[in-house]
């Protein structure tokens, strides 16, 4: 705190420390091309699921990744049947997401 005849005020000094643990390059995940990772029928199902996610996101006014990430959608696309029980086996998909979004994805025709 600094004070003089004109009043008092706070003064801060901020120093940024470069650290390999918190580097912006380590925080960024490498982009995955799911067309190369998934087989053709699974990629078709993945694409349909992305379109469903996009529509739900627009309807709810939220970013698509807030519903399911591409990684989660790829996991869903690999499932033989999408239902609340099987959705819960995908890493990152918990009860809240299942409760809120399962109805949009399990009733849709997602076969290629």
Rounded CA gap, 8 and 71, in Å?
53
**Average of per-residue pLDDT across 24-32:** 66
Q: Which residue has the tokens 């003064």?
A: 11
| Residue 4 banded pLDDT, cuts 50, 70, 90 | confident
Domains, the chain, in order of start with CATH, read 31-106 (1.10.150.80)
Q: What was the pLDDT predicted at 111? A: 47
| Residue 112 banded pLDDT, cuts 50, 70, 90 | very low
- Asked if residue 11 has pLDDT above 80, the reply is no
Q: What was the pLDDT predicted at 73? A: 96
In the DSSP assignment, the letter for residue 32 is P
**Average of per-residue pLDDT across 76-101:** 94
At 35-79, the pLDDT tens digits run 999 999 999 999 999 999 999 999 999 999 999 999 999 999 999
State phi, psi for 43 to the nearest 5 degrees. Answer: -65, -35
């Amino acid at each position: 705190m600094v004070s003089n005849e004109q009043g008092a005020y706070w003064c801060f000094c901020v120093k940024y420390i470069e650290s390999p643990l918190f580097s912006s390059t380590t925080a960024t995940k490498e982009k995955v091309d799911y067309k190369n990772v998934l087989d053709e029928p699974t990629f078709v199902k993945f694409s349909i699921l992305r379109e469903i996610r996009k529509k739900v996101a627009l309807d709810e006014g939220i970013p698509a990744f807030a519903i399911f990430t591409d990684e989660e959608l790829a996991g869903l696309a690999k499932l033989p049947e999408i239902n609340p029980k099987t959705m819960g086996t995908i890493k990152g998909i918990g009860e809240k997401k299942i409760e809120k979004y399962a109805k949009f994805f399990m009733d849709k025709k997602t076969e290629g």
